[in-house]
Copies of this chain bind each other. A is one copy, B any other.
Amino acid sequence: MDEFASIRHWTAGRQTAEWQRRRGVTLGIGDDAAAVDLSLAEAGLDGAGSLLIAVDTMVETVHFAEGTMADEDVGYKALAANVSDIAAMGGVPLHAVVSVSVPSGYGSERMRRVYDGLYVCAEQYGIAVIGGDTTSAPSHMVVSVTLTGTVETGKELRRSGARPGDAVFVTGPLGMSAAGLHLLLREEAGTPDSEYAAIVAAHKRPKPSVLAGRLLLKSGACRSLNDVSDGLASEAWELAEASGLRIVLEEGRLPKSGSLSAYAAKAGIDPLEWMLYGGEDYVLVGTVESGGADAVQKAFHERGLPFYIIGKAEAGEPDVELIPLPKNWNGERASGRIARRKIGKRGYNHFDE
């Protein structure tokens, strides 16, 4: 099978031309490039749209391994990571192009499973898969996805818009994916306890927050936004540096799921470590003007979506600080001032030596 036959085998019959056309696609997989007429894309925007573009790459042994992710999970998550980037701009995802470099020994059926998972994510988020490139590799699979999206022109939610006094929020629980990975690496070929299904699912099949991003954009109150791909601490630092201010988080307000707490207790690990430094949660973190926070929270809750105020933005040099739980915590807020703790970035770092 040549490259085109392979890509046809993995992609044929998954999305009709008619369905793709509603995303503006006039020429899909199979030529030198795909063609899109953005004026045809039914994205539900309120006014003229700009194009968004994001790219994310997953490398076998670095981002996934046989024991932790099935082939379908790899395809799903490679696209989901990009969807999260579009969500973090307040945008609507539209089109994906997929590049895979794959050891020849992996075989075509394994690649088909990768595409199976990728199309599950594409269907959930209404994304047209419009191009692909496949190359061989001497070892380990690399899956790189580029995703377009659209957003009302000039309205995209950047990292740089936070202002002192803003409330800092997240749109879902933290540390789930890191805890799930920890569990998967410890389990030896067994099925994880159903008690921990939520953290395992968070690692394998994260659910990017497109609807949350749209609600934030439409609220008019959101001033800065980022997605938690490299851990809350790292993402809060990005907001702080891009906006030129200090982010202060309150430990007691960080959303912690029951599944995470239970597993952390069993594993003997402080869950705060995962919540601050665990990546790939793909919830959104950002700031809203403090006067608008209640209305935004209400809009989220009306749609059954979580929304947590976890801190505030303050004037100052870029920094991230945490107000820890008091040692003698007894359910009531301590009266005295609690010393803040500086939080380092500890993001993912490729050139540390």
Chain B residues whose C-beta falls within 8 Å of the C-beta of A131 in the assembled complex: 53-55
Chain B residues whose C-beta falls within 8 Å of the C-beta of A30 in the assembled complex: 159, 242
Interface string of A324-352 (1 = CB under 8 A from B): 00000000000000000000010111111
**Contacts known (A139-B138, A351-B6); A88 close to B33, Cβ less than 8 A:** yes
Chain B residues whose C-beta falls within 8 Å of the C-beta of A104 in the assembled complex: 350-353
Interface of chain A residues 74 through 107 with chain B (CB within 8 A): 84-86, 88-89, 91, 95, 97-99, 101-102, 104, 107
**Contacts known (A36-B51, A139-B139); A97 close to B351, Cβ less than 8 A:** no
Oligomeric state, in number of copies? Answer: 2
**Contacts known (A158-B31, A347-B3); A36 close to B50, Cβ less than 8 A:** yes
Interface string of A38-60 (1 = CB under 8 A from B): 11000000001011111111110
CB <8 Å contact, B55 and A132: yes
Contact pick for A34, options B52, B142, B225, B350, CB 8 Å: B52
Interface residues on A, range: 35 or more
13 new A-B contacts, CB < 8 A, other than A6-B351, A35-B151, are: A3-B347, A31-B160, A32-B89, A32-B227, A37-B51, A55-B97, A55-B99, A57-B101, A104-B351, A137-B142, A138-B140, A144-B144, A146-B146
Binding site for B on A (CB under 8 A): 1-4, 6, 26-27, 30-39, 48, 50-59, 61-63, 84-86, 88-89, 91, 95, 97-99, 101-102, 104, 107-108, 130-140, 142, 144, 146, 148-149, 151, 153-154, 156, 158-160, 225-227, 238, 242, 345, 347-353
